[in-house]
Every structure is written in C-alpha cells, then in structure tokens.
Structure 1
C-alpha cells in the first residue's frame, strides 16, 4: 500500500509525541526542584496528559490510514474522530493558549524559572507550543465527524471535573498545588476559575467544529447523503 501525505504525517507526529512522552516520563527519576513530581509524577499535569492524548490520537489515525479492512477502518475512524473533535483539538489548544497567557503575565504562576535547567527549551515548546500548529495541520489534512454539541460538552465537563478532583486530591494529600497559581484562589475562586476554563474549552470545541465544517463542508455533506 502506497503511503500518502496524510499517512506519513500521522506516523511522524505519533513518533514525535511518543519520543516527547518518553523524554518527559524519564525526568521522573531525576532530582527535580521540590514538589515538581511529588505524588503522581508527571501524571498530575494537564500538559503531560495532553501529550498522551495527542499520542494516542495520532497513533489511532496512523493505524486507520494503514488499515486495509474496511470494517476495522470504519471503527477506527469513529474512535479517532471522537477523540480528536471532543478532546484532542479543544484540550490541546487550551493547553497552549492558557500556558502562554499565564507565562506572559507571570511565569512563576505556571512554569517557574527553576525548571529551565531540568527541562530544556525544546521540551517546553514540544509540550506547550508545537501542539497548536500540529492540530491545525490535522484539521487541514482531513475532515472529522463531530458528535452533537450537548454530548461533547457533557463529555468535556465530566473529564474536567475528574481532573479538578484529581488536582484537589493531590493538594489534600501532600499540601502542594499542581500549579502555583492555584494557591492564590479561595474555594469559590477555584470553582470560578474552573468554570472559566470550561467555558474556554467549550468555545475551542465549537471553533474546531466550525473550522472543520468550513474546510470540509462539501465532503461532510456528501458523506451525509450517502448514509441516508
């Protein structure tokens, strides 16, 4: 089977994310600044979880491209479309936008300068910058089938509440907030910050769907016609 641009892109990006995830996980055994990997290691950071999410998606996309069986390929397509549309695009874009917004305001709130000698610049950009152009390239390379907005928002909210519960659990267990910014919030402020973030993520989901429909409207319409 001849490889096309889409397949090569998916394989290369999957390999890239696998490398970045392995490099990030390897830091768990090093002597890092106090509190960085205490309780939960990298698994408590949304950045790391997003890297895993992107790696899994592009792995599924590559597998779908290389799959010859139509039935299996159809199942993979549904799975990867759901993963990309509901989580991959909005969460990935959110990580980039929130990180650099806070970094520009006061980096100590999200990425203290003491981390620089442990995480080289290329790793910082791999986690917080390159995600955005890769996601946009994916949107331009192929279309994705989106679920109903209510279902997507429900799934995002469930995942968001789960992650909030996880970082609160980490704080209650070891007395350290995953992100230094959170120590400045009261309980009510923390809830407000969470709701604000969920609004942003939801907006990114809607923006991703609109961009997908604008670029691939004809193809999506043709698919809908065939399924009738």
Structure 2
C-alpha cells in the first residue's frame, strides 16, 4: 500500500469516526439521548480493541439484545448508528491488517501496554458504577461479583488472544518485512 493510498484510507476512516462523533454530540438536545452520554460520552466508543468490541457486542446482542442494546434505544438511535459503532469497525480493522504492515513491539512490552489499557478501561467502568450506581453496559447488572470477575478475566484472555492473533496475521501477511525495514533505517 503506497503512502498516498494509506493516507487516503486513514483520512476516510478518520472522517467516518469524526462524523459519528459529531452526530452523537448533536444528540444533547434530546433529554432521552443526552442521559446516555453522561460519564465518558461519545469517547467510550473510541477504543483500539475493535475486534473484541465487534465480537462481544454481537455475541451478546444475538443472545439477548437487552444485555447490551435494549429495544428502548431503537427509538433514540437509528439502526445505521448502531452498525456504525459496532459493525463497521470489523471491516476497517481487517482492511488495515491486510493492506498495511504493522511493527509490533516486543511481546512483553506489547502485552504489558495492552494489560495497562484493559486495567484502565475496567477501572473506568467500575468507577462510573461506583459514582452513579449505573452500569455502562446492562449485562453487568445481571452478573454477581463472581460473574463480573469471570467476565473481566475471560474478556482479558480473549483480548490477549486477539492481540496475539493479529500479530500472527501481520507476520503471515507481511513476514519479516517490518524488521528488515527497521534495520535499514
């Protein structure tokens, strides 16, 4: 992928998320909608764990949609917005893996940073609950303390698996190209 096409691709994906961010921020005028964006607001959607978001959201949605996206939200958010937030991230991520080589850090450093990001995110979710008494995702209200611990632990294992799978895909598609490029510099 040339630098120009990479730039165009990133501009298009960035533009899509800027549009979504703008659209969501305009929902403040409706009191029903503005309540949904308290404590993190639209920023809670900006995460680099795209495949996890896609798989966990749609798995829970297909099992029992009330756990992640209650029917009441259908009157507030259009269907396309739900797909923009939870579906389109998968093709964008796949295109990124296929068209652009990535230079992963050493495994220990990469997993340490990933763990720090996950701990920060889970801490934020728990802090919001402690401050408001409301869970960010309805599924958490259905779980006991042991269930929450199991959910977060299994999610962590799954996310680490996704990270390692992405690293393998990158190596499979691009081989040692990135290491050779770095040595030339």
**Do they fold alike, i.e. is TM over 0.5?**
yes
Kept after mapping to 2: 8 A contact 1:33/1:114: no
Q: What CA distance in whole angstroms lies between the structure 2 residues aligned with 1:35 and 1:189?
A: 27
Q: What per-residue deviation string (whole Å, max 9, x for no partner) do you get for residues 174-216 of structure 1?
A: 2111111101222222111111101111011011111111111
1:144 aligns with 2:141: no
Q: Which runs of 5+ in 1 are unaligned?
A: 51-87
- What's the secondary structure of 2:46's corresponding residue? helix
Are the structure 2 counterparts of residues 28 and 166 from structure 1 closer, same or farther at C-alpha, using a change threshold of 3 Å? farther
2:46 alignment partner, one of 32, 41, 49: 49
Q: What CA distance in whole angstroms lies between the structure 2 residues aligned with 1:3 and 1:170?
A: 41
Scaled by the length of structure 1, the TM-score of the pair is 0.74
Are the structure 2 counterparts of residues 28 and 199 from structure 1 closer, same or farther at C-alpha, using a change threshold of 3 Å? farther
- 1:90-101 to 2 correspondence within 5 Å? 91-101=49-59
Q: CA RMSD in A?
A: 2.1
Corresponding residue of 2:77 = 119
Q: What per-residue deviation string (whole Å, max 9, x for no partner) do you get for residues 1-32 of structure 1?
A: x9732222111111111111111222244222
2:172 alignment partner, one of 204, 214, 220: 214
Q: What CA distance in whole angstroms lies between the structure 2 residues aligned with 1:148 and 1:190?
A: 31
2:147 alignment partner, one of 176, 179, 189: 189
Q: Which runs of 5+ in 2 are unaligned?
A: none
How many residues are treated as equivalent by the alignment? 184
Deviation of the 1:94 alpha carbon: 0.5
1:161 aligns with 2:119: yes
Corresponding residue of 2:10 = 10
Kept after mapping to 1: 8 A contact 2:28/2:34: no
